Amino acid sequence: MKSFSFSSRDLICGLLFIAIGLFFAIQAYGLELGTAFRMGPGYFPLVLAGMLVLLGIIVIIQATQVEHEPMGPIAWRGLLFILPAPILFGLTVRGLGFVPSLFLTGLLAAFASAKMRPGTALLLVGGLTLFSVVVFSYALGLPFRRFGPWLGQ
């Protein structure tokens, strides 16, 4: 007979997902929903909130059924490089423009891994930047400045 194990970490995580999902569902409730083809301002937040609640329920169910490993050490290096990356992008995209901001953001995030080497990082970030410019600027035609006023343009 299998012994009952319960992951309190997953229970807390699932409850947190449900609480956040319910909070945003309540916020979106007062907004016009519309339909799937003509979405109102509350449609997308409500759908995402519902998905978050569903994910929380799944996590709680799995907390009772899956045997869990103990949590390892916190990846401080990853946190120190990944978390400030979107903040850097937000602070520099208007001044530097899309291309340099994306390149710097990608470069910062690339070094979250201790295995990343500078040459590899430059190649990956260069490819990411080129791909993003082709997709967002040319293919989708989004109206943003590729290079900003801080660079003298």
Give residue limits of the domains in the chain: 8-65, 76-151
Q: How far apart are CA 30 and CA 35, in angstroms?
A: 15
At 5 the pLDDT is 66
Q: Please identify which residue in the block is written with the tokens 């409730």.
A: 29
Between CA 7 and CA 67 the distance in angstroms is: 8
Q: Which residue has the tokens 């990956």?
A: 124
Round to whole Å and give the CA distance between 151 and 74: 38
The string of pLDDT tens digits covering residues 90-128 is 999 999 999 999 999 999 999 999 999 999 999 999 999
pLDDT above 70: residue 43:
yes
